[in-house]
Amino acid sequence: MTVKPSIAAETGRGARNARDGIIRLRRLGLQAYEPVWRAMQTFTAARDETTCDELWLVEHPPVFTLGRNAKPEHLLAPGEIPVVNVDRGGQVTYHGPGQIVLYPLLDLNRLGIGVRELVRRMEQAVIDLLAEHGIAAEGREEAPGVYVDGAKIAALGLRVRRGRSYHGLALNVDLYLAPFSHINPCGHPGMAVTRTRDLGIDTGTAALGDALARHLLRLLGYNAALSAEDHLPHVEIQSA
């Protein structure tokens, strides 16, 4: 797998943060949602204080996901798109091809940050990425995510178990937006959504995904990430 030097250090040399930790980056391509979710659960349950943190970059086929406390009335008309009830926080959202999904599997105790600070840094990674392209964006205390002129461009949802995070962040790049009209996005009726393509950014998901990972690495205090095999650990699944 080709790894850009701006993101990955040479394999074997390590990537150090303020706590001398190592993080791995996996680019998984297009993968069904549920096997990736189960792999995150398995990875998190099996890890210990010596386990390296990981970032997973992935795209999913069309799927609606509902968080633990999601209200069913926010799922308006799913039609033929599958619906999966998951263990993250938050309400209902949509994933589809053309959307970057970044899953940070982190030991928050080792990093010395809490959940709210992780959310803030994830939002800031998107804000900084868009700023590189001349787009002003912001987060909202009352509705986690990132917004451009009032329209949501990135959604967040996390689960933390024993101080270790999974689930994560979805950034709309050039995905088909119509399915968002079949839900109240993140539980907000009538919320507008947008994508980088409509903001004049013609960079594709692979390059934007790498850039997003780079920004989050920086905000977490990592200098770089080791290249990892582009498959899911502990789960037999064919990569794209």
pLDDT tens per residue, range 170-196: 999 999 999 988 877 666 777 899 999
The pLDDT of residue 105 is: 97
Q: Judge whether 11 lies within some domain.
A: no
The pLDDT of residue 231 is: 57
| Of residues 163 and 185, more confidently modeled | 163
Active site residue 186: yes
Q: Judge whether 220 lies within some domain.
A: yes
Q: Judge whether 50 lies within some domain.
A: yes
Rounded Cα gap, residues 68 and 70, in angstroms: 6
- Residue-wise pLDDT for 132-154, tens only, equals 999 999 998 778 899 999 999 99
| Of residues 182 and 124, more confidently modeled | 124
Instruction: Report yes or no: 7 and 214 within 8 Å, Cβ to Cβ.
Output: yes
Q: Judge whether 45 lies within some domain.
A: yes
Q: What is the CATH number of the domain that holds 144?
A: 3.30.930.10
Q: Judge whether 171 lies within some domain.
A: yes
Q: Judge whether 169 lies within some domain.
A: yes
For the cut 50, the answer to whether the pLDDT of residue 10 exceeds it is: no
The pLDDT of residue 20 is: 57
For the cut 80, the answer to whether the pLDDT of residue 32 exceeds it is: yes
Helix, strand, coil share of the chain (percent; to 5): 30, 30, 45
Q: Judge whether 157 lies within some domain.
A: yes
Q: Is 92 exposed, middle or buried (0-12, 13-18, 19+ CB in 10 A)?
A: buried
Rounded Cα gap, residues 75 and 72, in angstroms: 6
> Among 236, 233, 231, 235, which residue's Cα sits nearest to residue 58?
231
The pLDDT of residue 229 is: 56
How many domains are contained in the chain?
A: 1
Instruction: Please count the other Cβ atoms lying within 10 Å of the Cβ belonging to residue 5.
Output: 8
Annotated active-site residue in 111, 169, 171, 186: 186
Q: Judge whether 80 lies within some domain.
A: yes
- Residue-wise pLDDT for 82-121, tens only, equals 998 988 988 888 999 999 999 999 999 999 999 999 999 9
Model confidence pTM above 0.75:
yes
End-to-end CA distance of the chain: 12
Rounded Cα gap, residues 106 and 159, in angstroms: 11
Max CA pair span of the chain: 51
For residue 123, the enclosing domain spans 22-226
The pLDDT of residue 33 is: 96
